[in-house]
Amino acid sequence: MKKCPDCGHRSQTTDFRCPECGSYYSKIIELIDQTAEEEARYTWQARWQRVMDADKKWPAIQLELAQIRSELSPQASLALIVVFMFVFALVFAI
Ligand SMILES: [Zn+2]
């Protein structure tokens, strides 16, 4: 039996959250969950989804690109540019 620290709801649940109000039973679980959510925001899929959801696509794309650039190290962005150039060269060579 678990008792919710927020609303006092008692439940036999094996969940980490209260079925009544959605509060976490444990601070540690809450922290882990929030970290996972935070990381999920930076996946390519999440980025793509945000661009697709945006009313104006182009500003959304620019915003995501700016974020990606700020996360990458200079070496990584250089490697990315080289890869892009290589792909371009291949496309135009055919
Ligand atoms: Zn609750």
At 40-85, the pLDDT tens digits run 888 888 898 999 999 999 999 999 888 888 888 888 888 888 998 9
Ligand 1 center–CA 41 separation, angstroms: 27
Amino acid making up residue 88 = F
- pLDDT at residue 94 is higher than 80: no
pLDDT at 56: 93
Ligand 1 center–CA 22 separation, angstroms: 6
Cβ proximity of 16 and 27 under 8 Å: no
Q: CA-CA distance, 40 to 77, in Å (whole number)?
A: 22
pTM for this prediction:
0.48
Ligand 1 center–CA 2 separation, angstroms: 10
Mean pLDDT, the chain, as a whole number? 88
Burial 29-53 (b: 16+ CB within 10 A, else e): eeeeeeeeeeeeeeeeeebeeebee
